[in-house]
Amino acid sequence: MQGLSTIIDYYDQSRHHQGALVYHNLHTLNVWSVTSHVLAHSSKLRPLVAVQPHAAPPVTVAQQVWSLAELHGRAVDLNLVTGSNPQDFQILGEHLEHGDLYVRLAEHGHALQSLLDDRVSPPVRPALYPYAFEKLKYTLPASLRPNFYVAGISSDAQKLGIQLRAVNFTNPEPLAGWSLFLSTLQERLPTFRHALRVGLVVRPTESEAWQVARARFPTSNKGKVDAFFRSRSTSEWLKRSAILALQNVQDGPFWMGAFLSGQAHCPYLVGTPHQVAELLRQYQKLGCEALLIDTPFEPQDFEHVEAMLDLLFTKTPQVAVANMNHQNLEVP
């Protein structure tokens, strides 16, 4: 746990990072064990816990959230995911279609909100979780209630985010195209809210930043093959990012090259603190409510990212900033 503890210590001391995404798959530490560790060894971090219906029913998740609030006096947030790892689905014998996964996630999320917040009515005619909700309450005060996020940008994910009044996490695209995409989307769904997942390589000079980025994320045959197959994924955000990577898209600091290395599944913003802060400011103006930042590789990465965030938040309202760790803190 030494590496995880180092990450927790850094982000707990950060001026801007408010949380850490604890992700779920079948081959990592249990999300609730990691979340409890984060709360016990930090003073202000607010874990964002990945919740998958196949891993635990709503009553189990609600009891975990309530228990952590009682034990630590701290809140956690919840990131609702259908699960996008085909290998995990095969292991568990999951055979639901994409739309059916979201039907299940919708009822799971609605049930969870009702269990934790007495202002939320229980699901009507629940098919999967027919609880006696009036006898199962893990109600929390407002300060300890979780914020809800939905992973994904597909039409099903968009509708679910609105239904649950949640924020959708996704990968951004180059600014002009992303602006057009959001404009079209919000004409149809005006209450849609979103947050962005990015990696950052920030250095004092532009040339140094690009040198570090290309050395850290060299294009590989494996990365190209992975991108090819991900371009056919049922996960909309992953598919869109893979297509951009295969097209070698770069737009100023916006770079998809890390995707082709096979080491990252999100865009990277590469440049000086001023360049990266200005680009993130433009994404904020388009409505980005939170940033999920890929975990820096080296100690100096932390310093440069912190300096960039200082610049970003001197001119714009602060958004929630969370990080991903390659062991157990990562977007699923």
pLDDT tens digits, residue range 6-63?
778 888 888 888 888 898 888 788 999 999 999 999 999 999 999 999 999 999 999 9
Q: What confidence score (pLDDT) does residue 300 get?
A: 85
Per-residue pLDDT averaged across 67-95, rounded?
A: 86
User: Is-contact 238 230, C-beta < 8 A?
Assistant: yes
Q: Strands 148-151, 46-51: parallel, antiparallel or unpaired by DSSP?
A: unpaired
Domain presence at residue 330: no
Residue 61 resides in a domain: yes
The verdict on residue 331 lying in a domain is: no
Q: Which carries the bigger pLDDT value, residue 46 or residue 93?
A: 46
Model pTM score? 0.91
Phi, psi of 77 (to 5 degrees): -110, 165
Mean residue pLDDT of the chain comes to 89
Residue 329 within a domain: no
Position 66 in a domain: yes
pLDDT of residue 168: 96
Q: In this structure, what CATH number is given to the domain that contains residue 156? A: 3.20.20.30
What is the model's pLDDT at position 328? 39
Q: Which domain holds residue 34?
A: 2-324
> Are the CB atoms for 249 and 269 separated by under 8 Å?
no
CB 175 within 8 A of CB 251: yes
- Looking up tokens 């999300």 gives 31
Q: What pLDDT, on a 0 to 100 scale, did the predictor assign at position 119?
A: 93
How many domains does the chain divide into? 1
Tell whether the model's pLDDT for residue 316 goes beyond 70: no
To the nearest 10°, the Cα dihedral for 327, 83, 19, 264?
50
Instruction: Let me know: does 72 contact 44? Beta carbons within 8 Å.
Output: no
pLDDT digits (tens, 9 = 90+) for 253-280: 999 999 999 888 899 999 999 999 999 9
- Looking at the domain assignment, is residue 233 inside a domain? yes
pLDDT at 318 over 80: no
| Confidence (pLDDT) at 236 | 84
- Please say whether the beta carbons of 182 and 194 come within 8 A: yes
Q: What is the pLDDT of residue 174?
A: 96
- For residue 245, the model assigns a pLDDT of 84
Whether 95 shows a pLDDT value over 90: the answer reads no
Q: Which residue spans within the chain are E strands per DSSP?
A: 17-22, 46-51, 77-80, 148-151, 167-170, 194-202, 250-251, 254-255, 268-271, 288-294, 320-324
At residue 117, does pLDDT exceed 90? yes
What pLDDT is attached to residue 287?
94
pLDDT at position 329: 37
Instruction: Check residue 123 and report its DSSP letter.
Output: P
pLDDT band at 1 (very low <50, low <70, confident <90, very high): very low
Arithmetic mean of pLDDT, 115-138: 92
Residue 2 pLDDT: 47
Question: Over the stretch 282-315, which tens digit does the pLDDT of each residue have?
Answer: 999 999 999 999 877 787 888 999 999 999 988 6
Predicted confidence (pLDDT) at residue 80 exceeds the cutoff of 90? yes
CA separation for the pair 304, 269 (Å, rounded): 13
Q: Is the pLDDT of residue 332 over 50?
A: no
| Residue 147 three-state SS | coil
Q: pLDDT band for position 203 (50/70/90)?
A: very high
Q: Does residue 9 form part of some domain?
A: yes
